[in-house]
Structure 1
């Protein structure tokens, strides 16, 4: 598990180097971020603000892990009732139930990747590829 913790630390350090994301990196260092090998999602944020990282988030580059951390960190700042509201709004409108909750977190991840690509050209290719994957994932799950 030491390797997973090292990768998480590297991803947070990358986030800290992206202009405008220093506070998010600081917030991540204050939170518990734990690798969970049996987690089927890339990541999850618990109601108590613990961020869980699954194996898929560690399969790619540090850019993908950083994107996942930015996404999950966004969830830690959302009102918990938004999750319930999103669910029931989806039920009543017959639309994907978590779309309203997930949309801003996916957008936060896309915004991070765009700034990363501009501010760190050495990661631009990975950031663009990750952004395409993030957008495809959102489209497949919530549209």
Structure 2
């Protein structure tokens, strides 16, 4: 068992908490994520769950173990700018056929971008088009829709 400070609030955690992200969510702080799934291996590639410690160091909260005495911040102006830039870059490399996509309007990437106030993309797309993977008799995988 340990205690960490999140946005000035003391939060207790147990050995059951696998990462800082789970402690943040247990304390009812909102934290955006795209790649995090607790049942899968953690790789922290989307970087939206980035937090800042008291020394200004940033790290992905999904891939960091909670430690007693940690002091972190989840929504500093620096982190908000960082997340917006990440979303713009992800959208710039995203297949932009959202109006014909089955998830249109209910996509986690779109919803997160709207919530973060990202409504224009300043970056040119450098996206590579990949062929559909139809090797399964039941599933068609479109790698162009994958986030990272």
**Higher Cα radius of gyration:** 2
Same fold (TM over 0.5): no
The normalised TM-score by structure 2 is: 0.31
Q: TM-score, normalised by structure 1?
A: 0.32
- More relative contact order in 1 or in 2 (CA 8 Å, sep 6+)? 2
